[in-house]
Amino acid sequence: METHPPRLKTNFADNDRLLKLKNAFETKYGQSPNFYAHAPGRVNLIGEHIDYCGYCVLPMAIEQSILAAVLVKDSGTIELANTNPHYKDFTVSVGAGEIKIDKDNPQWHYYFLCGVKGIQEHFSMSNLVGMQCVVDGTIPASSGLSSSSALVCCAGLVTMEANKKSLSKVALAEICAKCERYIGTEGGGMDQSISFLAEKGTAKLIEFNPLRATDVKLPGGAVFVISNCCVEMNKAASSHFNIRVVECRIATKMLAKVRGLEWKRLLKLAQVQTELGASLEEMLGLVEEVLHPEAYSREEICKSLGITPEQFSTDLLSSNTQHVTHFKLYQRARHVYGEASRVLRFKSVCDSQPADSVQLLGALMNQSHASCRDLYECSCPELDQLVDICLKAGAVGSRLTGAGWGGCAVSMVPSDKVESFIQTVREAYYTPDSRRAAMEKKSLFVSKPGGGATVFIHE
């Protein structure tokens, strides 16, 4: 695998999307772009809400992506435009301290500026080059396919290239994972990692600390079909996501304290397992032994940890979770340790390719959805309905993918049943609802593992 993002000379006559974006740029700014940057979205096959707990995940890049056309200018500003008229133009000065991100107002351009600021801070650049950029996105927004992270990654790649810097894919992924937190999302790094480290034709097992990616050969005889439930959820605009991060952080400290570990320095559930030298099955046993299924109040947590309410708010809560009064620690920890185990079993099946591998992987996906729905409570009625329809339509496994609370399901479908599967799902979920029917073309599709972030220049 190449260690740096590829830089490809491309004949635009062979790429209709690049040609359209070039024309849009020239219409907007009256000049041709210097280069183009591409960052794909992703579908997570299994391993939901566990990357920020320190556990590995198993995504693949999809063909849908963010594509930016860029002209470097000696203008002292970054001018941003989008091919989608819903997203308004934005201009910002590139001087020291000028790039500010409003996490209370997560507009599209602030995600782009997260990537810009991440590269600027990594290289300690007081001034960046000016740029004109036109962005084109084919990833449905707030669908659980990582449109926001792909935009951050694309912006990071654009800023690196425009300022004549060089970074490895791993470094770019780590920078972009860190800088997306400027918008208020406390993610774990999966989305940015697969956007840079993906390779065509293979899914990836993404591991953290240190970040690394391993090829996962998916079995023949089945394909993955993505279906959007058409309920949008913006991670940065709501607190659902960060509440789960906080609940896992508190569960980490409660488990660590009971076992006599230095609980104050531990932040992730995986760290407790590592410190104890325990198996995932033993960690599930510890959860049963230590945590109770009833929600914990602030007072009970403070008493258990021996901290004040002020320390609780300052040290354990994020800015948009200060209002939360009760925390489901048992359910969240059970999901995380169980899901981490399912990821490892999924990879093991892919590696060994037994005769019934498709059925085994489907069963793991179904268990994952049940855990997301019942223990992590990150599904929604529409997603549950869609998953049920997908299973009845012939999928061997179906589950929500992405943060949840809306967005997409991913289904494993035998290759010989794909056409009938899509037709059945279309008729059962999309056709009866006029709004969904209007969105169906971009909401129901077969996905193959795509390649990672790339810079294109005109041949």
Token readout for 10 is 């491309």
The alpha carbon of 296 is separated from its chain's Cα centroid by a whole number of angstroms, namely 29
Distance CA 250, CA 245 (A): 9
User: Which of 122, 125, 117, 119 has its CA nearest to residue 182?
Assistant: 117
Q: What angle do CA 217, 220, 226 make, to 5 degrees?
A: 85
The one catalytic residue in 74, 102, 191, 416 is 191
**Look-up of token digits 């997908």:** 390
DSSP class of residue 181? Answer: G
The owner of tokens 């304290």 is 257
Distance in angstroms (rounded) separating the CA atoms of residues 383 and 26: 41
Residues 6+ apart with CB under 8 A from 328: 247, 295, 296, 377
Asked if residue 456 lies in contact with residue 38, where contact means CB atoms within 8 angstroms, the answer is yes
Smallest Cα–Cα separation from 196: which of 68, 4, 54, 63? 4
CA dihedral sign of residues 109, 115, 118, 121: negative
Q: Is 191 a catalytic residue?
A: yes
Element (H, E) at 193: helix 190-197
Residues catalogued as catalytic = 191
